[in-house]
Amino acid sequence: MMPARVRDYLILIGHTWICNECRMRLLTEPEAILVGHKLNDHEREALLALTETSFRTMMELSDATGISMDELRMAIDHPRARLRHLGVRRLYRR
């Protein structure tokens, strides 16, 4: 059985918790970071509303994003959240 796909929203939140560089990019140029990610309107609005203070503690990030602490821990530990920086696109050669 194939594991369920983790929502892009959780991957974005998990990665920005552990990566200061991508967190600053999300806060300063959010539209560039969000391009290509599957997000609903609520998720997009929540990400655009994040501030530096949203990342002071896991509890504050959980409150700001509307996800549970368990979901936040899972997102932070997910391999895709640790895989590569946000906004990085692979170049495919033919």
How many independent structural domains does the chain possess?
1
Give residue 83's pLDDT. 75
Specify if 2 maps to a domain.
no
Give residue 69's pLDDT. 96
Residue 94 vs residues 87, 88, 91: alpha-carbon distances, Å? 22, 19, 10
Q: What is the pLDDT along the chain (94 residues), one digit of tens a residue?
A: 445 567 899 999 999 999 999 999 999 999 888 888 899 999 999 999 999 999 999 999 999 999 999 999 999 998 888 877 676 554 444 4
Specify if 89 maps to a domain.
no
- What is the value of pTM for the model shown? 0.82
| Domain extent at residue 49 | 8-83
Residue 11's identity, in one-letter code, is I
